[in-house]
Amino acid sequence: MAANLSFDTLKEAVGSGEIDTVLVCMVDMQGRLMGKRFHAVNFVESSFEETHCCNYLLATDLEMATPPGYASTSWEGGYGDYVMAPDLSTLRHVPWLEGTAMVLCDVLDHDTHKPVPHSPRAVLKAQIARLKALGFDAMMATELEFFLFEKSFDEIRKDGFRDLAPISGYNEDYHILQTTKEEGVMRPLRNHLFAAGIPVENTKGEAEAGQEELNIRYSPALDCADYHTIAKNAVKEIAWQKGHAASFLPKWHKDRIGSSSHVHQSLWQDSKPAFFDADADLGMSDLMKHYMAGLIAFAPDYTYFLAPYINSYKRFSKGTFAPTKSVWSVDNRTAGFRLCGVGTKGVRVECRIGGSDLNPYLAQAAMLAAGIKGIEDKMTLAPATSGDVYDDAKATVIPSTLRAATETLRNSTFLREAMGDVVVDHYTRAAEWEQEEFDRVVTDWEIARGFERA
Ligand code: ADP
């Protein structure tokens, strides 16, 4: 789908001086925008074809460290270049930055110009193509939950990330009065994203002080991931412009509710909802049942893609709406998978396992791969669960630590077949490194607990 700026319109806007800067961005393993700020004249004259970046951009951690152990790049290999090839269908205005437009890039091998298989956009495109070969398109929506804080990023960093104060004083779930007080950030966020061609549905207060949710209308899977990535960046930029901080950490305080990113999914054929069968129970087609059976069965294999950091696993706890069981339920928020739009053309499945820190390309790709496997193998969907699923002893439990999720990822024959060894090995290494880094740290908790009493 074209974004809101054609290349010709960009050229005119550059000619008139309306646009002077083009952000040329790729998406890294963490789902962040990385790239360069081009003078717009240079972009429209030449760089629209391609530019280059160091290939370490798909092998760093959150802090831009260069961990060893990746097959794709290393110090020994000299950290060469990738090609960043602008996908001109993603050109858009960036209304919250003066005189600025943005384009997303596909990441290509420097010599062969073939897609780099572990680049997040390529990982998702590969699964979309597999689904297309079966005759279906995926429509997805990812909800974005995050916290707004009183102080700015810089103030919070200088304070050592201590005594964090969210922007509001009480649980603001669906609250109009409290969210009115946050419109200084949230109104420009909605309006700027909308003007950038991102179909914002709404924002709402969430179930904790300072917690927000942004909903974007469902769209083809690649667009959905692009929207999520740009919106997440915009949340932080607009919060920063207004002197506040926004955080997508899934669990910033042990006593506060965590932030998630629920993923709504449905398959379509010839622009018709293929998950819907008017004559079937709950309106669920056989296709939908097979897809869901795959999603549920392989959730432990792909949990890493829904929860990629140490902190992601702090969110999974009983009685917090963050699910830990791979079962499905009809409109029940304690199950990992919730059936929504029952009996209507909007019938869909919502995965509730993912944290607000997921990379939407990788998460969607892994879930599509699981659904495709369910369809290919005509897997049988177990009956829905009901009641409080936290207490369901029979339900499959997803890995509860990054260490465990790394092992299910490494040993997943299904993911290796669906995504390829190169991709699985690459992300297994990313997961291992995250754990190794954490294991090296001596935490405040263990010092306070044991300093005198151990
Ligand atoms: P809830 O509040 O129950 O989570 P919403 O009605 O707000 O549900 O919808 C949540 C998300 O589901 C929205 O982003 C919406 O665009 C998306 N959605 C609606 N229909 C579909 C569909 N058929 N396939 C995928 N996502 C959908």
CB neighbourhood size of 447 (10 A): 10
**Which atom of ligand 1 sits closest to the CA of residue 140?**
25
What the block records as the tokens of 92 is 């858009």
Binding site membership of 187 for ligand 1 (Cβ less than 6 Å) = no
Evaluate the CA torsion angle 293, 297, 301, 303 in order and state its sign.
positive
Closest CA to 66 of 425, 429, 439, 441: 429
Domain 127-391 has CATH 3.40.50.970: no
Residues 6+ apart with CB under 8 A from 125: 115, 222
Binding site membership of 100 for ligand 1 (Cβ less than 6 Å) = no
218: CA distance to ligand 1 center in Å? 7
Nearest-angstrom CA–CA distance, 211 and 204: 9
Element spanning 239, H or E: helix 221-241
CA-derived radius of gyration, the chain: 22
Q: Where are the domains of the chain?
A: 7-116, 127-391
Residue nearest to atom 13 of ligand 1 (CA): 217
pLDDT per position as a tens digit, 331-347: 777 789 999 999 999 99
**Which atom of ligand 1 sits closest to the CA of residue 346?**
23
Q: What ipTM describes this predicted complex?
A: 0.93
CB neighbourhood size of 201 (10 A): 14
DSSP string of 419-431?
A: H-HHHHHHHHHHH
9: CA distance to ligand 1 center in Å? 32
Binding site membership of 199 for ligand 1 (Cβ less than 6 Å) = no
Binding site membership of 61 for ligand 1 (Cβ less than 6 Å) = no
Nearest-angstrom CA–CA distance, 252 and 312: 10
| Residue showing tokens 């899977």 | 221
Give the per-residue pLDDT at 303.
98
Give the per-residue pLDDT at 2.
54
Element spanning 338, H or E: strand 337-340
Nearest-angstrom CA–CA distance, 143 and 211: 13
Give the per-residue pLDDT at 321.
64
Residue nearest to atom 27 of ligand 1 (CA): 218
CB 403 within 8 A of CB 434: no
CB 153 within 8 A of CB 240: yes
Task: Enter the DSSP assignment of 77.
Answer: T
Give the per-residue pLDDT at 1.
45
141: CA distance to ligand 1 center in Å? 7
Beta pairing, strands 337-340 & 328-330: parallel
Binding site membership of 217 for ligand 1 (Cβ less than 6 Å) = yes
Binding site membership of 422 for ligand 1 (Cβ less than 6 Å) = no
Evaluate the CA torsion angle 263, 269, 273, 274 in order and state its sign.
negative
CB 321 within 8 A of CB 292: no
Residue nearest to atom 24 of ligand 1 (CA): 266
Closest CA to 38 of 61, 21, 52, 58: 21
**Which atom of ligand 1 sits closest to the CA of residue 262?**
4
Closest CA to 57 of 87, 86, 88, 36: 36
In order of 29, 140, 213, the CA distances from 225 in angstroms are 13, 9, 16
Per-residue pLDDT of the chain (454 residues; tens, 9 = 90+): 457 899 999 999 999 999 999 999 999 999 999 999 999 999 999 999 999 999 999 999 999 999 999 999 888 888 899 999 999 999 999 999 999 999 999 999 999 999 999 999 999 999 999 999 999 999 999 999 999 999 999 999 999 999 999 999 999 999 999 999 999 999 999 999 999 999 999 999 999 999 999 999 999 999 999 999 999 999 999 999 999 999 999 999 999 999 999 999 999 999 999 999 999 999 999 999 999 999 999 999 999 999 999 999 999 876 666 777 889 999 777 789 999 999 999 999 999 999 999 999 999 999 999 999 999 999 999 999 877 666 666 778 899 999 999 999 999 999 999 999 999 999 999 999 999 999 999 999 999 999 999 9
263: CA distance to ligand 1 center in Å? 9
Q: Is 394 exposed, middle or buried (0-12, 13-18, 19+ CB in 10 A)?
A: exposed
Binding site membership of 150 for ligand 1 (Cβ less than 6 Å) = no
Binding site membership of 316 for ligand 1 (Cβ less than 6 Å) = no
Domain 7-116 has CATH 3.20.20.60: no
